[in-house]
Structure 1
Amino acid sequence: MHHQDNEKQIFNTLYDQYKHLGLPLELIKHTDFTVFNLKDINQPTPFKSPLSRLNFFVFAFIKSGDGDYTIDEHNYKLQPRAIYFTNPGHFRSFNWEHIGDVYLFTLSESFLKENVYANIFDEFSFLLAETFPARVVSPDVFDEFDILYHQILREYNSNSPYRYRIIGNLFVVVLLKFKEYFWQDYNPIYEGNRSSEIVKNFKRLLEKHYRDLSSGIAEQAFRVQDYADAQSLHPNYLSNVIKIKTGKTISTWIAEKTISEAKALLQNSKLSIKEIAFRLGFSEATHFSNYFKKHTDTSPVLFRKGYGTVTS
């Protein structure tokens, strides 16, 4: 295995992560979807992975094995009959004391949408949950999942032209079983104090980022993904929390902030309209002018004239 890195790594696929760690790559036949038994990597234990952000879903079924994992500074125990999943965006690390039968699925969001369900987050909103602590289930419940993941593994290793469609349909059953046993009453939006904290952090970052844009410290306007990454959240989850808690979408918050900063710069600075456009992340002054007019019914030039500020 490669040396431990002190800095946090970001991996978009399991292939990228395993290559970085010096682990065998022959297990990974598809970058968007993999399923295998962790013991097949033949890694001596104890085995520890460095802290990294994985931009894909991981589902784990631990038939036998012991260790723990840390996700966004929360630590959870891994033990026999434990089941868990994590979604894209979190920082996590693993520590395996013993690896027995541990079946891992890794899936990209695009694989889920193409092969499982186009409106995956409407049907299975729990996939956006911030964290899902590893849960130990009864032998009977674990056996149900055991049958399903072995069936998926069989299809994965087959040469059937329909294998990904079959896997997609079997995975719907896996998700329905997750819903049945863990998430029947789950609504990711109503997490009380935590969602209020998310809104507070979003507003704070929005303010700071637009201050940095206005002063020229930041050059690129943040997208929803950037605001989500800052809190290690899935963008859909962040969007839902902001919309439910504030009544406004993130794009509305961003638009209002962009316009208020634009007005302040037009009124109080001697920057040209082109410079203001670049400051606020627009590649062309005409894009900025159209955007400003759409939201204010007046052009930046006329707005500035109305306030008598010198243009350059």
Structure 2
Amino acid sequence: MLEVKVQEVKDLKQFFKHVGGPQPLEDDLDIRRKEADGEEHCFQTFRHRIYLISVYTSVHLNPVATSSVLNLAKPILFFKLLYQILSAGGTPRGATCFYVAFTEAFLAKCSFLAALIADMPFLRLDRATPFELEPEETAVLKSTFDQLLAEYQGSKRGRLGLISTYLQLYLLQIRRIYERHHCGTPSPANAGTPNDLAIAGEFKRLLDAFFKAPDTGTNRSVAFYADKLALHPNYLNAAVKRATGKTAHELLHEHLIALAKMLLSQTRLTVKEITYRLSFREPAHFANFFKRHTATTPRQFRQLADTRA
């Protein structure tokens, strides 16, 4: 199997230097409004270790013609997560937005935030899908963001404590909005025992962890995860199904498809590179798997995503 070598960027100053953005005030936290400049920033594909939550309100259609601006019908909430792969084609260019970016080092200073992050569904790789905001939702987020920005740019006593508190509020508001937009997912009739719920939770955590890590070549099988949990694969399947209404096998496939869609729509990695990133042996195997679950090929999905960008 070919191994895809991707540079890793670990802090915000490295990140913004890499993408050609303005330098943050701090290595591990940046809060900023960004106005469209119409410039195209080219950079090599890389993996980063930051959380970045952005609200986009307009995007330049043509980076050269600064007057060619798409005023979005509705603002879009956009996420970048730890270990996500980013390329020049993976983010809106010349965008007007406001964003909050932070690293694991920042979370280490605020233990209650670190615990909160683990409970945020939109900060999982398989669920970090951009979505449109209603006007009242945008107003709520903008109000809290303005308070965050004022504290970030200030130097008053208790600055870090207030930033952490406002960021906690911001994340909770986003979770409420996210759940409102994703409330169509039904809960299983039988939620399972506490043990089933614990097993399902640990299984989902391992899914995230092993797909963030470099390719292992084996992390696409239920047996792989069952071994990590010291369980028989059949027992893992049954426990997860009782807790979630779906088997471990089904959740694993859903996770793979979600990651594949993210890589196809938010990066410029080739289909071949994505194939090996997701531990498929051959591009044909990946294409067949993707089409079986989405009724479209990876290339067709990318073309459709590009037309909507």
Quote the residue 2:212 is aligned against: 228
Quote the residue 1:108 is aligned against: 103
Provide the rounded CA distance (Å) in 1 between the counterparts of 2:140 and 2:27. 27
Provide the rounded CA distance (Å) in 2 between the counterparts of 1:249 and 1:121. 24
Provide the rounded CA distance (Å) in 2 between the counterparts of 1:78 and 1:109. 34
Quote the residue 1:57 is aligned against: 51
Quote the residue 2:151 is aligned against: 155
Provide the rounded CA distance (Å) in 2 between the counterparts of 1:24 and 1:228. 27
Quote the residue 1:276 is aligned against: none
Q: CA deviation at 1:52?
A: 1.8
Provide the rounded CA distance (Å) in 1 between the counterparts of 2:126 and 2:147. 29
Say if 1:126 and 1:183, in contact at 8 Å, map to a contact too.
no
Match 2:34 to one of 12, 32, 38: 38
CA RMSD of aligned residues (A): 4.1
Q: CA deviation at 1:144?
A: 0.6
Quote the residue 2:173 is aligned against: 177
Provide the rounded CA distance (Å) in 1 between the counterparts of 2:222 and 2:164. 31
With normalisation by structure 1, the TM-score equals 0.51
The residue type paired with residue 109 of structure 2 is E
1:223-270 superposed Cα distances (whole Å, 9 cap, x missing partner): x977632269xxxxx9xx989x955546x69xxxxxxxxxxxxxxxxx
Provide the rounded CA distance (Å) in 1 between the counterparts of 2:212 and 2:52. 19
Runs of 5+ in structure 1 lacking a partner?
1-5, 68-76, 191-198, 204-223, 233-237, 254-312
Match 2:163 to one of 159, 162, 167: 167
The residue type paired with residue 180 of structure 1 is R
Match 1:85 to one of 67, 71, 79: 79
Cα gap change, 1:49/1:137 in structure 2, threshold over 3 Å: closer, same or farther?
Answer: farther
Say if 2:50 and 2:82, in contact at 8 Å, map to a contact too.
yes
Provide the rounded CA distance (Å) in 2 between the counterparts of 1:44 and 1:112. 33
Provide the rounded CA distance (Å) in 2 between the counterparts of 1:78 and 1:249. 48
Provide the rounded CA distance (Å) in 2 between the counterparts of 1:82 and 1:231. 31
The residue type paired with residue 12 of structure 1 is K
Cα gap change, 1:97/1:11 in structure 2, threshold over 3 Å: closer, same or farther?
Answer: closer
Cα gap change, 1:177/1:231 in structure 2, threshold over 3 Å: closer, same or farther?
Answer: farther
Runs of 5+ in structure 2 lacking a partner?
62-69, 189-202, 232-309
- Give the secondary structure class of the aligned counterpart of 2:94: strand
Provide the rounded CA distance (Å) in 2 between the counterparts of 1:228 and 1:78. 34
1:123-168 superposed Cα distances (whole Å, 9 cap, x missing partner): 4354234241211111111111111111101100000231121111
Quote the residue 1:137 is aligned against: 133
Cα gap change, 1:160/1:248 in structure 2, threshold over 3 Å: closer, same or farther?
Answer: farther
Say if 1:86 and 1:131, in contact at 8 Å, map to a contact too.
no
With normalisation by structure 2, the TM-score equals 0.51
Say if 1:78 and 1:134, in contact at 8 Å, map to a contact too.
no
- 2:11 paired with 1:13: yes
Cα gap change, 1:231/1:174 in structure 2, threshold over 3 Å: closer, same or farther?
Answer: farther
Quote the residue 1:288 is aligned against: none
Say if 2:18 and 2:43, in contact at 8 Å, map to a contact too.
no
Provide the rounded CA distance (Å) in 2 between the counterparts of 1:78 and 1:135. 16
Sequence identity percentage: 13
Q: CA deviation at 1:13?
A: 1.4
Say if 2:38 and 2:93, in contact at 8 Å, map to a contact too.
no
The residue type paired with residue 135 of structure 2 is P
Say if 2:9 and 2:47, in contact at 8 Å, map to a contact too.
yes
Larger radius of gyration: 1
Say if 1:112 and 1:120, in contact at 8 Å, map to a contact too.
no
- Give the secondary structure class of the aligned counterpart of 1:132: coil
Q: CA deviation at 1:49?
A: 4.6
Q: How many residues align?
A: 194
Cα gap change, 1:50/1:144 in structure 2, threshold over 3 Å: closer, same or farther?
Answer: farther
Task: Return 105-114 or 44-53, whichever deviates more.
Answer: 44-53
